[in-house]
A = this chain, B = another copy of it.
Amino acid sequence: MSLLPKLPAEQQLSCENCSSQRHAWFEKCNQQQLKSFQLYRNAQCFIEAGNYLFMEGETPRAAYTLQDGWAICFKSLANGRRQILSVAFSGDYLGYRTDMSVPVDYSVMAMSTCRICTFSEKNIRQLLLKSPLLIENLIHIQEKQAAACRTRLTYIGQASAKQKIAFFLINILEKLERRGMDISQDIDFPLTHEDVADAIGITSVHMCRVAVELRKAGIVDCRHNHIQVLDFEKLSRLARVVF
């Protein structure tokens, strides 16, 4: 756990102005509700790239909303490898368990500077008691995460390396687009070839080979902390072979 100290009040984002509000636990809540829920926020803080929000096996007595930045959720294996389960963006709700005494079964690491909003076990319980809508939203979030995991599982199990890469990138691009980014431009992309490789279950060397191929084919250029889509249609077609 390497959270930086809680931000002073004047630097905190109010829920009404939070950019993640449309994607987060509070989706569908009105301004009135947002204002009342805000009292149950425990802390806002920054966490630098490379640091853990929490590690597999820990039992953080809180859940977190990622307000801004990139984070990865992953599992580590006995042989030193890791499987990246998902890439989290603004609005993603991380670390929730009904029973907070149960350890988390995956780690979360910041890939860029992240702004985090914390809710303690106690406050979450009170929020859930206070509003049936929040329970509904929670179940809905779980459903979406489960569906995403099923989709991931399917293309990792069945697709070729090239399709996996295309699918993985498209997924991220769509998420970014939903958050208002122009994906026809060159975009900051704080994942290395190795990170992408660990997400789709191939080696970084092979990832590189295919990345070169995709670049030379004029489809997508992804390296050195940047991604530039060269032909969205082709990229999309590659990914869509799967479903």
**A residues neighboring B (CB under 8 Å):** 75, 77-79, 81-83, 85, 97-98, 105-106, 135-136, 138-140, 142-143, 145-147, 149-154, 156-158, 200-201, 240-243
CB of A1 to closest CB in B, whole Å? 21
> Roughly how many angstroms separate A157 CA and B106 CA in the complex, as a whole number?
15
> Roughly how many angstroms separate A83 CA and B138 CA in the complex, as a whole number?
27
Which residue of the partner chain, among B77, B85, B149, contacts A243 with CB atoms under 8 Å? B77
Which residue of the partner chain, among B106, B139, B142, B154, contacts A75 with CB atoms under 8 Å? B154
> Roughly how many angstroms separate A79 CA and B152 CA in the complex, as a whole number?
17
CB of A164 to closest CB in B, whole Å? 10
Asked whether, in the complex, the Cβ of A201 is within 8 Å of the Cβ of B158, the reply is yes
Known interface pairs A79-B241, A106-B150; 8 further A-B residue pairs with C-beta atoms within 8 A, sorted by A's residue number? A85-B150, A98-B140, A142-B143, A146-B149, A149-B149, A156-B156, A156-B157, A158-B201
A141: nearest residue on chain B (CB-CB)?
B142
Q: Which residues of B contact A85 (CB under 8 A)?
A: 150, 153-154
